[in-house]
Each structure stands twice: as structure tokens, then as C-alpha cells.
Structure 1
């Protein structure tokens, strides 16, 4: 089978059978397309790719300055692809079995202090106090990102029926299309309640008004093009809405968090995922057990969650050196 045909069949398998996230499917597909470009035009059939081709491909990535994590992901993509190809009879042997992946660098995530987060959220609450719809939305977004430790894609994917204010829980769809229920606290519930009562209806009304104006046509008699939402998707039952009433985009959330968290005193964490890192670390600092944090974050492996124990340990050592007389 031609390499491009095999890649298309494999990525369809990842999406439809293994139900991996669209981002993961795109990344793995892009990796294999790059492999096909590396071996072309000499090799066009997937059965003709051997270990030396794979090593050359990985070496070129390293020489071009790709991070170790990128090369490791490419190796994982090649292994998954050829395991599938072997299972489906496209190759007689798996050339990726002896392909060695570089060890990923173990870096600690950027974490904001509890005091910095309190400052950020108090400031967001103050901005929302006058009832501005976007300020109410932004306050609820920040409270939920930190209070429920959700991913930005999970937050933007929430529908209005996914949040239970009475129980203070949200049903989110994580990686691999796996659903989980996460709790959030009183401040997040208060912010969400204000947004749902005042902010969201106002944003929906603004969208309806924009549609009415657009339907009226321009001054020259030509029809105006309807305004699209922030994420380019149908508004539907989305919980968080953009300024024009459509589903809130992840880019808008990135801009929001970078703007308001970047100015926090003592905080080096400026992206939405840093709020998730911060929430996990503060949970462990407060005495939460690792399994509970793993379940809340939706990690498939406990090893992924254990990185936050290292962050807590680093903080403990720092405190010890400052406070203990024999340090």
C-alpha cells in the first residue's frame, strides 16, 4: 500500500476506533507525513520502509533543532503506525521495534502561588461587579479554570447543561473523548451563577441583535454577511460565549489568562494550563491524595500526576532552607 494511503487509513483508525482527540490525530498524522516526505521519492510503499529510514528521519529532526519531546512523540507515532500496519498485513516485519526514543526532559510546570491566584481572582471579581457581560464571563472562566483544574479545551467545550450549580460539579469531556465529573468551590459557583443570570443572556441578546442588523442588508442593498462566533462554530448550547454570542474560543481564553495572570505579583505562570498546574499543586499542598488529584485532572497514568509531587517537594525544601535553624 502507498504510504499516503496507509497514513490516511491509520489516522482514520485513530479517530474512529481508538477515539483519540483531533489534536493528537493531527500531530501523529503530521509526523507520518513528514516521514513520507523524508523517504520520498525513493520509497513510496509502506512495506519498503526499514529501520535505517526511521533512524535517518529521527536524526534529521534532531539536527533541525527539534526538542527531545518532539522526537519522542515522532518515535511513538512511528511505533503505533507500524504496529497497526503489521496487524493489518501491510508490512511483514515492524521496522520500528528497534527505534530508540530520546528520554524526555523532566521539567517542572510553572505554578502561581496561592496568594497570586487570590489576587488575580479578586481583581476579576472587582471588574465583574458592575455587571458587564464580558467581565462576568471572564471572572467565571478564571474561577472554573483554577477551581476545577480543567483544560482550556474542556472549558470551551462545556455546554450550558454540563454545570450543576447545586452540586457544584461540571461534566467535562477530556482527552480520548472520556467524560468525567469535576467539583468546583463556592467562589466558582458564585461567579458562574452571576454569569448565567446576567452575562450569558446579554451575550445571546447581542448575537440576536447582530443577526437582525445583518439581515437588514447594507446601505447599497446588498446582504450583509452574518457575523461568525469566536471559534467559528455554531453557538448551540455553549456555556461560555464570545463577544458576538458564539462559543468561546481557546485563543480568547489564552489571551485573557495571559493578560490578567501575567500581571499577578509573584506569578510566572501566564497560560491557561498554568492555572491547572497551580490548582493541582495547591491541592497536594493542602493534603489531597494523589489518586484523587489524578481523577480530578483526568490523567490516564498516575505517573503524569506525580510531577506535581515534585513541585510540592521543591517548595518544601525551599521553605525548610529558609525556616529551619539547622538548614
Structure 2
């Protein structure tokens, strides 16, 4: 089983160009799947039947003693990984049948992204001070996240050459190796300039040299986890910790654009979504807002 899993992950890396974060999630899911099969007395992938996969789906949602229950979206992702593994094994001639072919992952619940009101975003962006290498970096990072709608992983992946001052754009490396050029607002550009001139050189002297825009205290590239901690720390200081997740500023970016009248397909391009269907979940938020305003403001709304 471990050999088949390794071959499948190699296939996703080399032939599919699957993103590293997705590969890491699939690897965790498939390790759990292999442990589940071993506990059920299944020693090889050729012995797996559809009922084993269905039982694994139940274990994902209810827990199995060693693992806590997963959210519906995470359980669905794990079953997608399992289905992909068996499809690969069958196509590669490792197994004669695909036992997962008729096992459908549950459709994840469609959750509305949580966006902050504009005044809360502005309060968050004002939290880092304008003195010191760390605060200047934090302010530049938060401004960039909200100004461009970048994922945290895209922001920390930025290199110095990815920022075009003349055109006021940044080049982001998105999921699946797709790049996109995104405009950046003047306040974010000013925060970046302040960081790059007054703070980054100080941090860079502690490292071995890197093209990364955002550096940690040791002069190396800032990690996703550290960038998320920056957001979390300043959200707590602003009194917003209950409403903040790694994607909060990205969600706020999209929602505020749509509320301002931006076309959904433009927002799709800015977010780097492969399908407009993914972006349209944000339109549900704006429709809800319109409905609330209508209900409270129109004299005949409740008549």
C-alpha cells in the first residue's frame, strides 16, 4: 500500500502539476486511509472493496478512536484522494477493478465566506506601528493581502522582481502553477516601499540572501504559518479574532469589490479562480446585504 500511495503522489506531482499544499493534504488523507484498511485486516490494495471505502467515509465523519471527526469539506477531500488513488491503481494495471468507482464523496456544504466590514478591515490595517522592522513588515503584508486578494501562500511566495512599481502590479503564483498579474493600490504600495527601504535591509543582514519580499527575523523567507500568525496577532489586537481566518482579507477583498459594482468575472480573474462558479459564492453575500437593506428601508417590504 505505501508503494502505491507513493507512486500516486509522484503521478500527481509530475504529470498533473498538483500544488504542494494539495499534495501534503492528500498524503495525510491517504496515510489515514492506509491505517484504516490495516485495522480492517486489508493488507493490500487489491483486497479493497467498496464497503471498505464507505466505512472509511463514515470513520472520517464520526471519528475512529485515533482520529477526531473531520468537517464535511475535509472528509470530502479525503474521499476524493481515495477515489483518485484507486483510479490510478486500476489505470496503471496494479488492480483489476476500481472499487471506489461507485463510492461518491458527499457534497460539501456551501458555506458563505466570512468578510469583514470595511471599517473593521481599516482598523486591522492600522494595527501595526510604523516603527521597527517587524511592524513595518506586518503592515506591508496586511496591506498587500487586502489590496490584491492574494492567498497567504501567494503573498509569502512573492519575490522582489514580482513587484512592478511603474505599472502598480504584483505577479502572484497561484494554485497549479498558474500566475496572474494583479493591480495593487497606492496605500499598499506605500506600505511596501516603507518596508523595503527601512525594514527589509535590516532583516536581510541576518540571513544568507534571498529574493523573497517578506522575511522572518532570521532573514529567511516568511512561512505561511508565520504570516497567518501576523494576521491573527493584529486581529486580536483589533478585537476581531473571532471573525478572522487565513482567507479573511481575501474574502473581504472579493466581497467589497462586488459590493462596489465590480463584475464577477473580473473578480474571478483577480482571485485566480479557474471557474466563475467558485467566485459566485461571494455574490450570495451581496444579495443577502441587499435583501437586509431592502427589508429595513422599503416601506412596503414587509407588507
TM-score, normalised via structure 1 length: 0.85
Q: CA RMSD in A?
A: 1.9
Other-structure match for 1:310:
284
Other-structure match for 1:198:
198
The answer to whether 1:184 aligns with 2:180 is no
The answer to whether 1:97 aligns with 2:101 is yes
Extract unaligned runs of 5+ from structure 1: 209-233
Q: CA deviation at 1:265?
A: 6.5
Equivalent residue in structure 1 for 2:114, among 110, 113, 116: 110
Other-structure match for 2:32:
34
The answer to whether 1:9 aligns with 2:13 is no
Equivalent residue in structure 1 for 2:75, among 51, 71, 79: 71
- Tell me which stretches of 4 or more aligned residues in structure 1 moved more than 6 Å: none
- Tell me how far apart the structure 2 counterparts of residues 203 and 263 of structure 1 sit (CA, whole Å): 24
Equivalent residue in structure 2 for 1:247, among 221, 245, 263: 221
Other-structure match for 1:54:
53
- On the 8 A contact 1:10/1:81 being kept in 2, the answer is yes
Q: CA deviation at 1:268?
A: 5.0
Extract unaligned runs of 5+ from structure 2: 64-68
Residues 47 and 298 of structure 1, relative CA distance in 2, 3 Å threshold: same
How big is each residue's C-alpha offset from its partner over 1:219-273, in whole Å with a ceiling of 9 and x where there is no partner? Answer: xxxxxxxxxxxxxxx6521111112222112222222212223444678532331
- Tell me how far apart the structure 1 counterparts of residues 190 and 197 of structure 2 sit (CA, whole Å): 11
Equivalent residue in structure 2 for 1:276, among 250, 262, 269: 250
- Tell me how far apart the structure 1 counterparts of residues 37 and 247 of structure 2 sit (CA, whole Å): 37
Residues 235 and 319 of structure 1, relative CA distance in 2, 3 Å threshold: farther
Residues 39 and 265 of structure 1, relative CA distance in 2, 3 Å threshold: closer
How big is each residue's C-alpha offset from its partner over 1:169-208, in whole Å with a ceiling of 9 and x where there is no partner? Answer: 1111111122211111111111111111111112223x16
SS of aligned partner of 2:199? helix
SS of aligned partner of 2:16? coil
Q: CA deviation at 1:326?
A: 2.1
- Tell me how far apart the structure 2 counterparts of residues 244 and 107 of structure 1 sit (CA, whole Å): 38
Other-structure match for 1:163:
163
Other-structure match for 1:258:
232
SS of aligned partner of 1:17? helix
SS of aligned partner of 1:180? strand
TM-score, normalised via structure 2 length: 0.91
- Tell me how far apart the structure 2 counterparts of residues 271 and 63 of structure 1 sit (CA, whole Å): 25
- On the 8 A contact 1:149/1:276 being kept in 2, the answer is yes
Between structure 1 and structure 2, the one with the greater Rg is 1
Residues 121 and 61 of structure 1, relative CA distance in 2, 3 Å threshold: closer
- Tell me how far apart the structure 2 counterparts of residues 255 and 72 of structure 1 sit (CA, whole Å): 27
SS of aligned partner of 2:143? helix
Number of positions where the alignment pairs a residue of Structure 1 with one of Structure 2: 295
How big is each residue's C-alpha offset from its partner over 1:44-99, in whole Å with a ceiling of 9 and x where there is no partner? Answer: 22222111111111122222132211221122112211221121111222111111
SS of aligned partner of 2:299? coil
- Tell me how far apart the structure 1 counterparts of residues 47 and 169 of structure 2 sit (CA, whole Å): 52
Residues 44 and 185 of structure 1, relative CA distance in 2, 3 Å threshold: same
